[in-house]
Amino acid sequence: MHSFFFNYVPGNSLIHHLDPRTKLLAVMVASIFIFNAETFLELVTIAGFFVIIAFISGVNYSIFLKSLRPMSLFFIFLFFIQLFLSEGKPIFTIGFINPTYEGLITGLQITTRFIFLILFASILTATTQPVMITSGIERLIRPLPLKYIGVSSFDIATMMSLSIRFIPLLFDNAKKIQYAQMSRGMDFKNNIFKSFSSVAVPLIMSTKRTAQDIAIAMESRCYQGIYRTSLFELEMKNADWIVLLGISIMVLLFMFLI
């Protein structure tokens, strides 16, 4: 099934009950920390924070680890790019291939940072329903003067929730088309190029068609991209203010300690 993106895991933890805005801000702050982390100790501290927050969320650790899987090729690529292309003391040299110690260190550093980034983001997606994430983002960007570039924060929110809604649809559809073509003898082993296009072309066509249908359905129900009251009104509670206070204290401490 489509279990690898935005896999919300229902729960009743403190983290689940926080306002999405609080969680979004926390993830932003966490990413700033992550990208400033250089030493081993700093990285370990961040890992510690992740373990604790993940524990509080009550979501099984394996869910977070699974969210890394689709990105694993990217991580490997990132690591090897650093390893082979950094200047420094070579570990060994074969022809023009020379991994360096400096490359090894930065490679590990950068890859670890990206892994942490995904892990923290996956706490957000695991504990927050996609519609709540979108309304959180919508609320956060509402004060921005977006109307000068021709969109409103509601347009952006609508686009985001529509894209999220399309992901499982896309997977189901791809599966269905693949079965249909397999019934016509399609076999990826025979002619990979033709097999690929026999799934990709109908998939793109049908997605385009669905998108058009949705647009027409929205317009015929008077969608205008202006302010709409929401089914889920966001509300900052005490817990949110406490968490935000905690985050601010940490940021201040960090700035003065460095």
The residues that touch another protein, with contacts defined as CB under 8 A, are 1, 176-177, 179-187, 190, 194, 197-202, 205-206
Q: Which is nearer to another protein, 31 or 206 (CB)?
A: 206
Query: How many Å apart are CA 209 and CA 168, to the nearest integer?
Result: 16
Q: Which two tokens stand for residue 63?
A: 């869910």
Could you tell me the smallest distance in angstroms from the CB atom of residue 9 to another protein?
11
Q: Which is nearer to another protein, 145 or 185 (CB)?
A: 185
**Sign of the CA dihedral with 244 first, then 246, 251, and 255 last:** positive
Q: Which is nearer to another protein, 152 or 207 (CB)?
A: 207
- The strand pairing partners of 97, in sequence order, are 94
Is there a contact between 188 and 195 (Cβ–Cβ < 8 Å)?
Answer: yes
What are phi and psi for residue 167, nearest 5 degrees?
-60, -55
Could you tell me the smallest distance in angstroms from the CB atom of residue 111 to another protein?
32
Could you tell me the smallest distance in angstroms from the CB atom of residue 80 to another protein?
36
Q: Which is nearer to another protein, 204 or 242 (CB)?
A: 204
**Sign of the CA dihedral with 14 first, then 15, 21, and 26 last:** positive
